[in-house]
Chain A
Amino acid sequence: MTDDVTDDVTDDVTDATTGYATDDVAGAATDAGTAAVVPVDANPVLADVPRLFVRGHLVLHPSREQYFATCQALHEDSFTMCSDLCGVDYLRHPGRDLPASVEPQRFEVAVQVLSMERVERVSIRVQVPESDPVVPSVVRIWPGADAMEREAFDMFGLRFEGHPDMTRILMPEDWEGHPLRKDYAPGRVPVQFKEAPGPR
């Protein structure tokens, strides 16, 4: 089969059978990339937010108080998709690269947001103290963060304030503890053999 034949097949099928055009978006993506002349971090709302550039990639380190406003500003600036949100427990890894003004805490919420217009990702990392593991929820901004925040709650016990349905998602609802915490012992749950009296 030569290239010509394959092309013919594709064209035929696209037009005749399904009726769906196969769009070439190379041009569109490049245009959007060049049109975004104002960098993300020039936004006045983000002026006070500590930031780092890691391998050419913008990482914002807002405090918990700045977090929601930061997310809102990013959402207004074309960052319409929340790609990923996860918790991290730094219990046994205290030293890490943070801007000088940011005090490291045990927990961290790492959010990756995506702008399809700018074709750019921005990371947000929020420090969450162990004594008060509460973070504002961003579900009102990005509804897609719903399941991810529930997962972070389930795995790390981080409470997302304002989340409409803060329940466990992967573990059973009667589970004890939050498994991805570094001080959670996997062996703490007694192994239940058949007929053996278990705690539940």
Chain B
Amino acid sequence: MSNDRPDWTSDESDESDGETAREGAQASDRVNPYDEIFERETAEGRQELLDRVHTDPGELDLEEGSILRLPEGLVLDPGDVDVEFGEDETMIINMGPQHPSTHGVLRIMLELQGETVLRSKPVVGYLHTGMEKTGEELTYVQGATNVTRMDYLSPLNNELVYSLAVEELLGIEIPPRATWIRMLMSELNRISSHVMWTATNGMDLASTSMMIYGFREREMILTFFEKTTGLRMNHNYIRPGGVAADLPDGWEDDIEAILDTIPGRVDEYDELLTGQPIFRERTEGVGVIGPELAIAMSATGPILRAAGVPWDLRRAMPYLEYGQLDFDVIVGTVGDTFDRYAVRLNEIRESCKLVRQIAERMPAGDYRAQDKKVTPPPRARIDESMEALIHHFKIFTRGFQVPPGEVYTAIESPRGELGCYLVANGTNKPHRLHVRGPSFVNLQSLPAMLRGGLIADAIAIISSVDPVMGEVDR
């Protein structure tokens, strides 16, 4: 890479002497007092795709896309891409961050030879709002409002993984009804997220009707969410200790209406897209990623399953009560864009099956743990019990304390393995809240998928990765 890399072994100065450096800089006649700090702390180089001349030949052999390096045994054959190019015949262009097909503010630098993509590099961070830092300033009670905004297409899954992490450290038991409500909501969320993906994917491949249809079905589920949680998105519904409220009266009818509609509509999408020659031409054999590479690149979710690896955390490492439910793990065979589409489409059907089973077996009982230190008392108790009032006040002002420890929990979100690494220090706020966003990690396999393809295929491939930039940048 670039030659101006700093010497890493040199003693790196601490934040505290940033002040002295600034004073020193002001003492001399520097135009910008921050220059010196910039040089010291930011001399690690450019984030963009660098010119080929900066890459040494050994590196270039291993290189498949600027950020992608393959392990030994998986080294790419340089003759893999069937184009000949001179050193000065390629062109590096930017796609995004404001490109309609990039699903937000994703910027991809592409090295092109004619219309063929040689190398590429996703550049992210345009939506970075420091949510992991914010999470350290919020109590555990408030934390769910923060994580729910990360992956805004599957907010309930974010809340779920965070709540599971907090509960594991607290060591509290969740009543069965809360667990089943959580499963119901996260499966509905998976349907709405996949339907939304089908819509935007259709839009990217110029099937505008699909866009409208997908949003129509998503709205149906969001209406149910609004009825249950009070909000269409960013629910803060699944909280440490259970869920915020019981299911509304008549929820069975709403679920029945959803289940009567969605499978039929999915069949319609199937007819609209799967059988359509243009759609198939644009997706089949495009952006292929094999199982070994997908695992090496830590890709999870539909990308991994489309490559033929039957890995679904709901089945492999069951959390909640997924072990009791009957569903199929959908896998593809080729690992191309069409497989990823087919996996998602069929996962909607599997989620419908799951929602039906969950609704039939929904147990009665409490919807949150009866732990006075963790969950607030019922509203009616506050008027009659002093202790209830105190507990309520304490929970919503100070929150509860979590014993020190570290935990990693992971669930299967619509996009893959959603993990939460939580470090507690015994206070009412997390010491460190790290969310392993599946979109962030899945984006790494993009250069492998794009390589050797046409620039027009890039649109289809980016869409098939299903990145949600809120989760990528957090």
Residues of A within 8 A of B (CB): 1, 3, 6, 9-10, 13-14, 17-18, 20-26, 28-29, 54-55, 80-84, 86, 88-90, 92-93, 95-97, 110, 112, 116, 119, 121, 123, 125, 130-134, 139-148, 151, 153, 155, 157, 159, 161, 164-177, 179-181, 183-184, 186, 199-200
Contacts and interface: CB of A to CB of B under 8 A. Distances in A.
A9 B16 CA distance: 65
Given A28-B310, A86-B432, A112-B410, 6 more contacts: A23-B310, A23-B331, A86-B421, A131-B11, A134-B9, A171-B125
Given A6-B352, A140-B69, A168-B47, A13 B346 contact: yes
A14 B42 contact: no
B173 to A, nearest CB: 14
A90 B432 CA distance: 9
Contacts of A153: 44
B423 interface: yes
B203 interface: no
Contacts of B317: 119, 121
Contacts of B350: 10, 22
Contacts of B473: 170
Nearest to A148: B441
A92 B275 CA distance: 59
Contacts of B339: 20
Contact of B41 (A112, A116, A166, A177): A177
Given A18-B345, A199-B32, A144 B1 contact: no
Interface of B: 1, 5, 8-9, 11-12, 14-16, 18, 32-34, 37-38, 41-42, 44-47, 59, 66-72, 124-125, 128, 130, 132-133, 168, 259-260, 263, 267, 270, 274-275, 295-299, 309-312, 315-317, 328-333, 339, 342-343, 345-346, 349-350, 352-353, 356, 404-408, 410, 417, 419, 421, 423, 425, 431-432, 434, 436, 440-441, 443-444, 473-474
A97 B70 CA distance: 36
B42 A142 contact: no
Contacts of B407: 54-55
Contact of B69 (A116, A143, A175, A176): A143
B15 A183 contact: yes
Q: Is the interface of A mostly helix, strand, loop or mixed?
A: loop
B33 A199 contact: yes
- Of B16, B70, B444, chain A has the most CB atoms within 10 Å of the CB of B444
B133 A180 contact: yes
A49 to B, nearest CB: 17
Given A13-B270, A54-B405, A144-B296, A88 B444 contact: no
Q: Which residue of B68, B70, B352, B434 has the most chain A CB atoms within 10 A of its CB atom?
A: B434
13 contacts: A18-B346, A23-B310, A23-B328, A25-B316, A80-B295, A84-B436, A92-B431, A112-B408, A134-B8, A164-B59, A167-B47, A173-B45, A180-B432
A96 B423 CA distance: 10
Contact of B404 (A10, A86, A95, A173): A95
Nearest to A137: B69
A176 B42 contact: yes
A83 B419 contact: yes
Given A143-B71, A146-B68, A180-B132, A165 B1 contact: yes
B46 A3 contact: no
Nearest to B132: A180
Contacts of B274: 17-18
B55 to A, nearest CB: 9
Contacts of B404: 93, 95-97
B356 A6 contact: yes
Nearest to A133: B12
A124 B59 CA distance: 28
Contacts of A54: 405-407
A2 to B, nearest CB: 10
B296 A80 contact: yes
Contacts of B38: 174, 176
B309 A89 contact: no
B68 to A, nearest CB: 7
A143 B75 CA distance: 12
B128 A170 contact: yes
Contacts of A17: 270, 274-275
Contact of B316 (A86, A119, A142): A119
Contact of B125 (A88, A110, A170, A200): A170
A141 B38 CA distance: 32
Given A119-B316, A144-B299, A170-B125, A22 B346 contact: yes
A6 B353 contact: yes
